[in-house]
Amino acid sequence: MSNDQNKLLKRLDTLNKNIEILGKIIAVNVGKEVLFKEKKQKEQIAFLSKLGLPRNIIASMLGTTLGTVSVTKSKQKPKKKTDADKEKTKKENAEKTAEN
């Protein structure tokens, strides 16, 4: 493929992603009152994140800052297990196996 064709494909891919995001934004805005009724901001952020919306779009939709969205998403990530946690899990599994 030529260099021009590669550039065109990249631009089309970017356009496709932007159209997909726009569709999600429109869908959420149409049902926003129902979707977010009595939901806390962190739940709203989690929902919009699962849709694959970028942080800046989420912040704009919820009337908050990019920093707030970033911190909230960071807190929602599952914590990595430490070696001590892994050993504890192994021991618990061994004990359950021994009981059976």
Q: How confident is the model at residue 6 (pLDDT cuts 50, 70, 90)?
A: very high
The whole-number pLDDT of residue 40 equals 93
Q: Enter the tokens of residue 85.
A: 């946690």
Pick the closest to residue 57 from 21, 3, 4, 7 (CA basis): 21
pLDDT more than 70, % of the chain? 87
- Give the mean pLDDT of 9-16: 94
pTM of the model: 0.63
> How do residues 26-40 score in pLDDT, each as one tens digit?
888 887 888 888 899
| Average pLDDT across the chain, whole number | 85
Q: Where are the domains of the chain?
A: 3-99
Distance between CA 68 and CA 25 in Å, rounded? 19
Is 99's pLDDT higher than 70?
no
- Give the mean pLDDT of 76-80: 75
Pick the closest to residue 46 from 84, 20, 17, 74 (CA basis): 74
